[in-house]
Amino acid sequence: MSYNASGGILKPILRVTALLLTLLAVSACSLPRGAALQSEVLKEQQADNPTFEVIAVTRENIPGIMSWPKTGWHGHFHWPGTSSGSNSSVIRTGDRLNVTIWDSQENSLLSSPGERSTEIKDVEVDANGSIFLPYVNKVGVRGLTTSGARSKIQSRLEPIVPSAQVQVSLQQGRDHAVDAVTGVAKPGAYPMPSRNYKILSLLADAGGIPSSLRNPRVKLLRGSKTYMISASELYKNGSKNALLHPRDSVIVEQDERSFTALGASGTEDLIYFPKDTLTALEAMSLMGGLSDDRADPKGVLVLREYSAKQISGGGYGPTKQQVVFTFDLTSADGLFAARKFEINPDDTVLATESPVTNARTIFSLIGSIVGLSGQVANVVN
């Protein structure tokens, strides 16, 4: 079929094409996406007064970045080193003693007729460190072992009962115990068997740490101070087996530190730290990796917020409270930098959308339009 100069036959095709192109333009502005483009997130850095700082992470600057202040936690990983105490139990105020006095003489002052011993139970060590015994009054025993207390009591009895022999047993008071509060199989107060009682011995006595706890942390509360260490570090390093003090409290809890995973990755979720430190590459692995058909490997971002006190006053460090760290995972430099960069608790790791994804969608729509236009032409012809 031919057409005249006015293009009467082509007019329907042109009208359909114009309509579809208009729809394409509208669609291109609102293409469905799962994440922002890197250029969209970072466009404010071109402003005269940007509200955040952008740092491209490389092998060259990673040592300096790792010296910046930590965020999301307050340096809990302080822990007293190990030391040694006496293996003997030492008597303290509040302890209770059981004193047995043996006397072979007839008509002894200390025993009943027909008996060869007398037992004085549950004698409390008073605030002055002494116990009261008949005929000898007060005997100072604080700071002595049970063997030392036995010798001292026996020497005090010699003028009265020369043949007396003394036996002493100790029941430690509350001031000579430590508490396993929670996160162990058998919580409770544990008397210190000696002054050489250490944290690993307490955890063993308390039944150990349940395997269900995520990356468990061990807290030691001593007076007004709080110490913390990961259980894995405590178990593998003998220098961390801290000596316990009377009235120490030990709390075991799972690690609540986390970061947020967003964007074109395998998962978008709050992800908890499975170990003490976590690198950017390890974080991306926990996120399920980058989406092969959506993510921009040149646009992995870590968003972090510093406190006002952590802003650099002219030295090397963040110049603004909000910082975006960028990674290019298409280069060896970027990959090695991501292996060294440590994720902080409360960071956000964002895998941005690849601009190629939008281009593919647009090309697909254009192909559909061309195909539809061809179908219209065939119908007209």
* Residue pLDDT, tens place only, 296-329: 999 999 999 999 998 976 667 899 999 999 999 9
* pLDDT for res 366: 47
The secondary element (H helix, E strand) that includes residue 299 is strand 295-305
DSSP string, 321-380: SEEEEEE-TTSHHHHHHHHHPBPPTT-EEEEEEPHHHHHHHHHHHHHHHHHHHHHHHHHH
Q: Which two tokens stand for residue 337?
A: 């930098």
pLDDT for 236 beyond 80 = yes
Q: Distance (Å, rounded) from C-alpha 232 to C-alpha 198?
A: 16
Question: Average pLDDT for residues 349-368, to the nearest whole number?
Answer: 64
* pLDDT for res 130: 92
* pLDDT for res 21: 52
* Residue pLDDT, tens place only, 85-115: 666 677 888 888 898 888 777 666 666 665 7
The secondary element (H helix, E strand) that includes residue 269 is strand 269-272
Query: Exposed, middle or buried, 38 (CB in 10 Å: 0-12/13-18/19+)?
Result: buried
Question: Average pLDDT for residues 129-150, to the nearest whole number?
Answer: 88
Q: Which two tokens stand for residue 354?
A: 């690849």
Strands (E), 24-153: 53-56, 96-102, 117-124, 130-133, 137-140
Residues in contact with 359: Cβ distance below 8 Å, sequence separation at least 6, in sequence order: none
* Residue pLDDT, tens place only, 237-285: 889 999 999 889 999 999 999 999 999 998 999 999 999 899 999 999 9
Q: Distance (Å, rounded) from C-alpha 133 to C-alpha 38?
A: 83
375 pLDDT band (50/70/90 cuts)? Answer: low
* pLDDT for res 110: 65
* pLDDT for res 381: 53
* pLDDT for res 376: 45
* Residue pLDDT, tens place only, 68-93: 999 987 545 578 888 776 666 778 88
Give the chain's length: 381
Strand partners, 130: 140
Q: Of 287, 295, 302, 296, nearest to 337 (Cα)? A: 302
What's the whole-number average pLDDT of the chain? 82
Q: Distance (Å, rounded) from C-alpha 223 to C-alpha 254?
A: 23
Q: Distance (Å, rounded) from C-alpha 49 to C-alpha 361?
A: 35
Q: What is the CA radius of gyration of the chain?
A: 38
Q: Of 302, 262, 304, 259, nearest to 277 (Cα)? A: 259
* pLDDT for res 32: 53
Residue 324 phi, psi (nearest 5) = -115, 120
* pLDDT for res 335: 96
Please report, in angstroms and rounded to a whole number, the separation of the first and last CA atoms in the chain. 6
* Residue pLDDT, tens place only, 15-57: 655 555 554 454 444 545 557 888 888 888 888 888 999 999 9
Q: How many Å is the maximal CA-CA distance in the chain? A: 146
pLDDT for 288 beyond 70 = yes
pLDDT for 369 beyond 50 = no
Residue with the larger pLDDT of the pair 346 and 109: 346
Question: Average pLDDT for residues 193-206, to the nearest whole number?
Answer: 91
Are 248 and 242 in contact by the 8 Å Cβ rule? The answer is no
pLDDT for 172 beyond 80 = no
- Neighbouring CB atoms inside 10 A of 255's CB total 18
Q: Where are the alpha helices (DSSP H) in the chain?
A: 10-29, 38-42, 62-65, 146-157, 199-205, 231-236, 280-286, 332-340, 355-380
Helix axes 355-380, 10-29, angle to 10 degrees: 160
User: What is each CA distance from 304 to 41, 338, 340, 347, in whole angstroms?
Assistant: 14, 15, 17, 5
* pLDDT for res 216: 95
220 pLDDT band (50/70/90 cuts)? Answer: very high
Q: Of 181, 110, 208, nearest to 190 (Cα)? A: 181
